[in-house]
Amino acid sequence: MSKEFGFTRCSVLNDNKMYVAGVAVELEDDDVHHAILFEHVDGDWDKWSFEHRLAGIASYEENGIAKLITAGVDGHIETADFDGAQEERITAGDNETAPGLLCPLHCIRIIGDHAYVAGTARQVFRRRLGETEWTRSDHGCVIPCSSHEIGSFHDIDGPDENFLVAAGLGGEIWLSTSGTWEKLDSPTHVRLEAVKHLGGTGFIAAGAEGTIIMGDGETLRALEQDSTKETFSSIEEAFGKIYLCTDQGNLFCIGRDGALGRVDTGLPASPGGGSLSFNERSLLFACDFHVVLFDGNDWQELHPA
C-alpha cells in the first residue's frame, strides 16, 4: 500500500472503465489546491492532475463515447474523453449566489439527460449532456447573497429532471417534482452527507451520527440502528442491497430484512474517507489509501497509484 496518494471519490462507468479521484498527500499536507484523477481501462491505470480541489466526479456515455465530468469546488468544470478535455466555468449574474471558494460546490451527479451540481447556499445548477451552458435549477431553495440564512446541499439525486431530492446541513431534505424545490419535514437536525434514489418515489439519505432517513415522496422516517455512530458519506444500491460507507472508511449495508450490518471487505482499518460507485456488476469503494472492487461475490483490492 502506497501512501503517496490518498483517495477521495470514485465513479464506475462499466466493468472495464472506472475512475478514482484523489490527492497527493504531500501537497495536501501543504494545503495546495489540487486533485489527481486515476483512470482504469481494461486493467491498466493512467493518471492526470488538476490545480483545484474537486467537489465530485461522474462518468457517462455520450454517443457511445466514455466521458468523465469533474466539478471543482469553485465551479470549474472539466469534461474529458479519449480525445482530450473541455473546460467550463459555472457563473451567475451580478449579486446572484454562485460557486466560489467562499460558496463551494459539494457534488456532481448525472441525472436524466443533465449533469447537476449542488452546494453551499442550496445552489443547484445543471447543463444538458453534450452542451456547455449551465443554468440555475434551484428555484425555491437557493439562499440569496443578501440573506444571513445558513444552508447547504451536500448531495443530490433522482431518476430524471422531474424528481430530484437533495440533502445537507441541519438534516434538511428538499424535493423537486415540478421545477420548484420544497422543504420536507425532516425527522433529524444533524448534517446529511449523502442521498440516493431507490426507484419510484423512494430514496435514502444519511449523514452524521449514523443517521439514516428513508423517504417515499414527502414521507420521511428515521431508520433506527446501533451499528455505528460514524458519519455516512456515500450511498449506493447494488446487488439487491443498499451500501453505505462512512468518513472513517467503514462499509455497511442494509439487507432485504431492512437491518444495517457491517461489511467485511478484507481491508485493514482505514484512517478515514469513503466513497462508493456502482454500475452494471461493479461496486467500487474508495477510502483514504485503499480502493476495492466488489462483483457481488468477492472483494478485490485495486492499486491506482
Domains and CATH numbers, the chain: 64-224 (2.130.10.10)
Provide the b/e sequence for 287-300 (b: ≥16 CB within 10 Å). Answer: bbbbbbbbeeeebe
Name residues of the chain where pLDDT drops below 70: 1-2
The Cα 80–Cα 88 span in angstroms is: 11
Q: Please report the pLDDT score of residue 42 as a whole number.
A: 84
pTM as predicted = 0.96
The Cα 236–Cα 239 span in angstroms is: 10
Q: Please report the pLDDT score of residue 2 as a whole number.
A: 61
Q: Please report the pLDDT score of residue 8 as a whole number.
A: 95
Render pLDDT for 141-171 as a digit per residue (tens, 0 to 9): 999 999 999 999 999 999 999 999 999 999 9
Instruction: Let me know: does 298 contact 281? Beta carbons within 8 Å.
Output: no
SS3 state of residue 144: coil
Give the type of residue at 181: W
Q: Please report the pLDDT score of residue 280 as a whole number.
A: 84
Q: Is the dihedral of CA 88, 136, 112, 238 positive or negative?
A: positive
Instruction: Let me know: does 200 contact 167? Beta carbons within 8 Å.
Output: no
Render pLDDT for 283-296 as a digit per residue (tens, 0 to 9): 999 999 999 999 99
Phi/psi region, residue 121 (left: phi>0; alpha: psi -120 to 50; beta: rest), is left
The Cα 71–Cα 181 span in angstroms is: 22
